[in-house]
A = this chain, B = another copy of it.
Amino acid sequence: MKSFLAITRALSDETRVRALLTLRDGELCLCQVIEVLGLAPSTVSKHMDILHRAGLVERRKEGRWQYFRMAGKAGGTEAAAALRWALEALRNEKAIADDARAVCCVRKKDRQEVSACYRAS
């Protein structure tokens, strides 16, 4: 029951659902999620922590960056089933689609910065 409620509570806030879905097409670091959502770093950090403790996202530290990705959707765990359900239920949400475009921009920005680095060297 505890883990079930951790999941439903994690999914019961719109901001948190949006944060989770930004990871639909691959991992992002916290600052990228922050930029997409347009909220304070402390706020987003807390949201990601809640999603992580619910088992819905996995985290990976690399240097200064915390990367987040959706937990394996194919598993048999409670969280995996919840993810499958949520992804299906939110398939056509406008807010999610809007965020997806913003995620795309944030990824491109990364690449531009990378190429800027190459040009500078």
Contacts and interface: CB of A to CB of B under 8 A. Distances in A.
Residue of A8, A81, A82, A94 with most chain B CB atoms under a 10 A cut-off: A8
B82 A1 contact: no
What's the dominant secondary structure at chain A's contact region? helix
A5 B1 contact: no
Given A82-B85, A82-B89, A85-B81, A12 B5 contact: yes
Nearest to A84: B85
A59 to B, nearest CB: 22
B1 A95 contact: yes
Interface string A91-116: 00111100000000000000000000
A49 B20 CA distance: 28
A78 to B, nearest CB: 5
A14 B4 CA distance: 9
B8 A12 contact: yes
Nearest to A93: B1
**Top 3 A-B residue pairs of the complex, sorted by shortest distance between their CB atoms:** A8-B11, A8-B12, A12-B12
28 contacts: A1-B14, A1-B17, A1-B90, A1-B93, A1-B94, A1-B95, A4-B11, A4-B17, A4-B86, A4-B89, A4-B93, A5-B12, A5-B13, A5-B17, A7-B89, A8-B8, A8-B11, A8-B12, A8-B17, A9-B12, A11-B12, A12-B12, A78-B89, A81-B85, A81-B88, A82-B85, A82-B89, A85-B85
